């Protein structure tokens, strides 16, 4: 028996979710179970290059805000946000966790990234939360990285009202 590839797992999940096979609350519970573990593992396993890439993604999120009085480039911001989370998942060194998150990230974003709910203030809060996660990863503090990721996700879910 051959092992499924990461892309095969991710693709299968996208198909199941797209067919309505997994509810929004179930997706969010799955995210809460997976991402803090990914962050905890990534604190120990992510190489320096991965941390630099994560910092660059964070900088892209900040630059997409365009400053006070200018409109946020939402598409660019949200794409960088997804890359931030996926980079941590892949940085965990656990291919199964990364594949699962990769397959769920688009449906999760479809549920949580509503322009009516996520205004500029909320997007700035996401940037601040990511800075705390990034700091814990750079400090190689796995338990802290997992906990701050969990708080970030719970705050985001409370804001969007999905769970």
Provide the residue range defining the domain that includes 73.
Answer: 6-160
The answer to the question of residue 131 being in a domain is: yes
Length of the chain, please?
Answer: 163
pTM metric for this prediction:
0.88
Q: Residue 121 has what pLDDT?
A: 86
The answer to the question of residue 1 being in a domain is: no
User: How many C-beta atoms surround the C-beta of residue 150 within 10 A?
Assistant: 17
Indicate if the pLDDT at residue 67 is higher than 70. no
Q: Give, in degrees to the nearest 5, the angle at Cα 26 between 20 and 31.
A: 115
The answer to the question of residue 133 being in a domain is: yes
CATH of the domain at 59: 1.20.120.530
Distances (CA, A) of 162 to 75, 82, 117, 151: 21, 18, 11, 15
The answer to the question of residue 10 being in a domain is: yes
Distance CA 88, CA 39 (A): 6
The answer to the question of residue 101 being in a domain is: yes
Distance CA 60, CA 77 (A): 7
- Contact of 49 with 95, CB cutoff 8 Å: no
- Contact of 55 with 134, CB cutoff 8 Å: yes
Q: Mean pLDDT of all residues in the chain?
A: 87
Structure tokens at 44: 């120990």
- What is the total count of domains within the chain? 1
Indicate if the pLDDT at residue 20 is higher than 80. no
The answer to the question of residue 130 being in a domain is: yes
The answer to the question of residue 37 being in a domain is: yes
Question: pLDDT by residue (tens digit) across 95-128?
Answer: 999 999 998 898 888 888 877 778 888 899 999 9
């Amino acid at each position: 028996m051959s092992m499924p590839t990461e892309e095969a797992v991710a693709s299968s999940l996208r198909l199941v979710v797209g067919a309505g096979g997994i509810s929004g609350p179930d997706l969010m519970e799955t995210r809460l179970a997976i991402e803090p573990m990914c962050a905890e593992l990534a604190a120990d396993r992510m190489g320096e290059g991965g941390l630099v890439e994560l910092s660059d993604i964070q900088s892209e999120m900040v630059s997409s805000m365009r400053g006070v009085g200018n409109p946020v480039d939402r598409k660019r911001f949200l794409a960088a946000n997804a890359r931030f989370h996926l980079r941590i998942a892949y940085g965990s060194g656990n291919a199964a966790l990364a594949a699962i998150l990769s397959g769920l990230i688009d449906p999760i974003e479809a549920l949580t990234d509503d322009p009516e709910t996520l205004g500029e203030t909320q997007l700035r809060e996401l940037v601040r939360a990511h800075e705390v996660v990034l700091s814990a990863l750079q400090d190689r503090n796995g338990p802290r990285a997992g906990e701050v990721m969990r708080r970030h996700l719970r705050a985001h879910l409370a804001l969007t009202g999905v769970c």
